[in-house]
Structure formats: structure tokens, C-alpha cells
Amino acid sequence: MALSKILSKKKDKHRRVAVIGLSGVSWNLTRDLSARGIMPNLAGLLQDGFACEMTSSLPSVSSVAWTSFLTGVNPGQHGIFGFAERRRESYGLYFPNASQVQSPALWDLLSKKDLKTVAVNIPQTYPVSETNGITIAGYMADNLEKAVYPPRLVPALQELDYRIDVDLALAGTDKDAFMQGLSGTLRKRRDTIVYLLDRIDWNLFVGVFTGCERLLRYFWADYENTSSPYHQRVMGYFKDIDSAIGEMVSRLSEEDGLIILSDYGISRLEKEVYLNAWLQHEGLLNFKGDPPYSYENIDGERTWAFALDPGRIYINLKGSMPQGSVEPGEEYEGLLKELNAAFLSLKDDVTGEPVISRLFRKNDLFSGPSLERAPDFVLRGAQGYDLKGAVSQEAVFANDLITGMSVYSEPLFYMRGLQGLSVRPRIIDIAPTILRLLNMSVPGSMDGKALI
């Protein structure tokens, strides 16, 4: 079906756009699973549209990426730079939520036109706010009653045994139970999405499957290793995802717009790189008291820089940090230059391979009213190296249960009816594209550009 058929729908009728989110699923993984016959519904859709790699947000983490998707702006505007942020009055951390997003979401814009949005399981949308439609927040929601709007839906979801997320602790204690939890959560998510598609009038429907990301982080090695006892269970999970996609698409008309995307891709993890451990070894980060350390224990007078997940470097700048030690101007610029060279020279302790592929200064990535809170550097790890910000880890290089890592350059983008693109899509381009499909104007404040 040509995109022109979608766009030619009479303007006096409200168009509809459905978005299916497959968190952590890369374009390469999509092609592999489609070619193997694991995802026949998705493979069929690929024949009637255009798919490619998309560019995610930097940092490449769900809270930033999905907020950028919903708002069409960069983190310097919407204000979310990671799952954790530094408190202004100390070096301690807090976890920002949806109430702290500084830019309007798609449903805010649609509500002004009396258009209805149904959004299921989008990360970083908790606590939910009043909107024209239905919102069921994704992780990091910890209270179902605050995760659902309108609240009258809560009893029905409780009766369904709806689950926001799987118990991640099981990944380290009982992989079988963890896999069962993933499958059970997927069934509840699918049932909820299908129920809403069948019964609710909507203009924009967004349903996100975050279990893909959970599975790939902990079972990537099992996906690659066909002799693993869990390999077929990984394949079975994606068959179930494909079935859910088929059920959703079967409820759409040919005139409905359809976009499938991921927030970032997951690929093989070789090693975790603990940046704060490296900064400590270099004498650039120091703590008060004895280990185990926390961010609250940072000794500002003897610290020049520290890191937060994922790959965010903050300079302990006077006037910005509680106990800043670095003078603005020449000293600040000199330290950035030294850190740039030092990070790019950081090598794997065994192979000697570089572990940092690129560094971005804040002005290269961000613009807007939240720029002052942005990290001074964002590092992008080389292939296979995941950059961590924990302060309790003493070794620079380590591995744990996780075998997959997020990748900035590999998320999936698909749009039904689209014949091709002359530019590589970015995650901030999706919101203006949805508005264009809905025959709405794109606000000038959006950083993204419509792809049609």
C-alpha cells in the first residue's frame, strides 16, 4: 500500500496512526529474525514499506530515547539526560520522572485538537498526567495506581494481573523463572493492547514491548549461541512478539499509518568499563570516608570530574557544583582537552583495543534551557564496550550477568507505505512525522523534522 493512500484520506476525517515499540531491537536483529522465519508478520510488513537503521538519542538509554520520541526535541529542551541525575544541592542522585519533562508530549498536542491518544508501556511516562485518552506508564513506574490514566482502569488491569515489568532480580538467581516472567508479562501486555484496540476510539495508539530489551540484555549470548539450552526459548519469545504484532496490525485499516521502531539496538557486550574507577585511578575523583562509596561521599575539594550512566562525564566546575574545584574558562577548557586525549587513549586491559570510539561536548549534542544541567562530555563506547557510572566498582574492566548492551546507531525504524528516505531518520524525527500523518502542524520548537 502506498503512503499516498494514507495521506490522501479526507481532511475532514481524523486519520489514525499506530506505533509499535520494540525496545532494544536493532535493524540487524530484525532482518535476521525475519530471514529465519521467526517473525513472519514483521517480514511481511517489510515488503510493504521502508525500514532502516535509525539514530537514537545520546545518551542511548530508554528514559532519554523515549522522551525524545514523545517530544521531538533534544535532551537540552526536554531535560532528561539519563535514569539518574545529580541533585543541585549535593552530589547525591535522584531519579527524574515524567513530571520533570520540560517539553510537551505528543498527547498534549493532540489533546488541544480534541484528538485521542492511547499509550501503553512507554518508559519515562510515570507518574501519568491527565490527557485526552488512556495512558498506562512503563518502567520505572512502581505504583500501578499512579501509572494509569484514567484511574478507573486500574481495577480492570489488576483483575487482568497486568504487569509493568518483569522481576529483574530473577535474571541473576533463576533464569527459567525470569524467562517465564518475561513471557507472562508479554501475554498480559498483548491482551491489554488488543482489548484497548478493540474497544477505544483513538487517533494515536502507541504500544511498547519493553521485554525485548530485558531479554536481549540477559540472553544475548543465548541468541547468538544456537547450542545454548535457552536459544530456542529466545526464538520462541520473538515468535510471540511477532504474533502480538500481527494481532495489532490486523486491527488497523489500510488507511491507518503504521510505524514500528525501537529506542536503541542491543548487541554483544564484551566488557563493562567503569569510568569512575578509571577517574579514581587517575586521581581525578576522590571520596570522603571508607568504601563502599556513594555519590554523596564525593570529596568536592579533591575531585575534578565524575561519571554517571551511561558515559556521562561531569566536570566539578565552580559555580555549578556544590564544591566545585575547576575554574571556568581556561582551566575548564584545559581539563576537557586533557580528558579528551586520555579517554581516547584508554585501552582494553587484555586486548589493547580502544574502548572509547568518540567523545561529544555538551554543545555538540544539546541546546535549550536545560543545557546547564547537561553532562560536559558524553562518551560513546567502541563496539562491545558498555560505559558504566557506578562508584562502588574498584576495577575499570568487569563483566557480570548481562551479555547485551545498547547501541546508538542500530535502532529499528519502519514505516508502512514509505518508499524510501534520502536521510537517516533520527528518533526526534518520529514525533513530527506522526503529526504530519495526522494532518497537524509541526511546532517550530521541535528539533526533529517530518520524514514525509
Q: What is the pLDDT of residue 218?
A: 97
- Please give the Cα distance from 36 to 209 (Å, whole number): 21
Which residue has 522522551 as its cell numbers?
67
For residue 2, what pLDDT band results from cuts at 50, 70 and 90?
Answer: low
187 in helix, strand or coil? helix
**Cell 489488576, residue?**
158
Element of type H or E holding 4: helix 3-7
User: Average pLDDT, stretch 152-169?
Assistant: 94
Give the per-residue pLDDT at 13.
55
Q: What is the mean pLDDT of the chain?
A: 95
For domain 3-269+405-437, which CATH number applies: 3.30.70.60, 3.30.390.50, 3.40.50.2300, 3.40.720.10? 3.40.720.10
pTM attached to this predicted model: 0.95
Q: pLDDT, tens digit, for every residue of 354-369?
A: 999 999 999 999 999 9
pLDDT attached to residue 10: 44
DSSP-derived letter for residue 26 is B
For residues 18-41, b (16+ Cβ closer than 10 Å) or e, as one string?
A: bbbbbbbbbbebbbebbeeebbeb
pLDDT digits (tens, 9 = 90+) for 29-64: 999 999 999 999 999 999 999 999 999 999 999 999
| Per-residue CA distances from 310 to 185, 255, 315, 426 (Å) | 27, 40, 16, 19
**CATH number, domain 271-398:** 3.30.1360
pLDDT > 60? residue 8: no
Rounded Cα distance, 261 and 51, in Å: 9
Give pLDDT tens digits for 380-428. 999 999 999 999 999 999 998 899 999 887 899 999 999 999 999 999 9
Q: What is the pLDDT of residue 6?
A: 45
Report pLDDT for 142: 87
Rounded CA-CA distance 87/92 in Å is 6
Whole-number Å distance between alpha carbons of 15 and 180: 38
- Where are the chain's structural domains? 3-269+405-437, 271-398
Residue 266, pLDDT score: 97
Percent of the chain at pLDDT > 70 equals 97
The predicted model gives 7-30 an average pLDDT of: 81
Q: Is the pLDDT of residue 9 over 60?
A: no
How high is the pLDDT of residue 7?
47
The whole-angstrom separation of Cα 380 and Cα 70 is 23
Q: What is the pLDDT of residues 302-326, one digit of tens each?
A: 999 999 999 999 999 999 999 999 9
